[in-house]
Amino acid sequence: MYSQALNTASTPADTSEVATRFQIRIDAEERIEPNDAMPDAYRRTLIRQISQHAHSELIGMLPEGNWITRAPSLRRKAALLAKVQDEGGHGLYLYAAAETLGVSREELVDQLLTGRAKYSTIFNYPTLTWADIGAIGWLVDGAAIMNQIPLCRCSYGPYARAMIRICKEESFHQRQGYEIMLTLCRGTDEQKAMAQDALNRWWWPCLMMFGPPDRQSPHTDSSTRWKIKRFTNDALRQKFVDATVPQGLHLGLRFPDPELRCEDGHWVFGTIDWDEFRRVLAGDGPCNRERLAARRKAHDDGAWVREAAQVWAAKQTPGRKAA
């Protein structure tokens, strides 16, 4: 655990007085900081949300990492390498933000590696062609931005501050993805077909990224009251569709949704397959096992680095032993 001097052990238990005073601060748009009193449920909600977000960043490196050696030019390779590194950095900022709530990074990583933690379902889909790298940047990072911009104003200070830099980097990711799609769509018929196929496969899973519909979302009420969440799942999904459909039409692509139509300035879309979402969330997506196996291998391969770092740190601090 890398954060220090936190008062989590002495935080008063939830009483109606603590909850009332806390809500007054939230309503006044005050930022909550690590040593402030907070209801246990607020702390637990944030640990769950921030750690799931951190895990998603790390697992999200895997489908794209597969393409670094196969990028079609040096420029594409450099951009993809930078993007994948950014995602690793996002994971680290977020684990650090979660640690300020009194949970250790080791514990969170253990939850991920032992299959006890959730991460975004989107990263359990395969990347079959180079166009998938374009579609991921354009759509997956685009959806991430839509979800994360409001989190820059989230009530918990360390999370909100981490999100500011993350959103700037996600914006670069979205643009590099869209530029790949644009290049393919202006290329040969075969390249355009590849872009269309990637859109066909990524569109619906991207809509699922915003989470279950509001009527089925168990966390929305309290998260909204605590200003962790500023918009509901359905509102963010609609904003994403409204922003993204014109971009796809500009590319000359068709969306895989026969019901998609514009009404009163909004793009109305068809029914999302929530059974598929639940299956992938429960561990039965196309690549769930492969992703976790790759993450476990990376963790095992890095054991000597962690050990060396601890031995080195112990040597720098007299009296401290390597853990």
Interacting residue ranges for Fe ion, rule: CB under 5 A: 57, 87, 90, 141, 170, 173
How far apart are CB 54 and Fe ion at their closest, in Å? 10
Closer residue to Fe ion, CB minimum distance, 65 or 213: 65
Q: What share of the chain is helix, strand, coil (3-state, %, to 5)?
A: 70, 0, 30
Least CB distance to Fe ion at residue 89 (A): 8
- Report the alpha-carbon distance of residue 261 to residue 270 in Å, rounded: 9
Q: Rounded to 5 degrees, what angle do the CA atoms 278, 108, 314 make?
A: 160
Minimal distance in Å, beta carbon 179 to Fe ion? 15
Comparison of 99 and 170: residue with beta carbon closer to Fe ion? 170
At its nearest, how many Å lie between Fe ion and the CB of residue 145? 8
* Alpha-carbon gap, residue 76 to 71, rounded angstroms: 6
Question: Helix, strand, or coil here: 156?
Answer: strand
Closer residue to Fe ion in complex, CB, 39/205: 205
Closer to Fe ion at the Cβ: 26 or 208?
208
DSSP state of 14: P
Nearer to Fe ion, 96 or 314 (CB): 96
| Distance from the Cα of residue 169 to its chain's centroid | 13
Contact 123, 149 (CB under 8 A): no
CB of 18 to Fe ion, least distance (A): 34
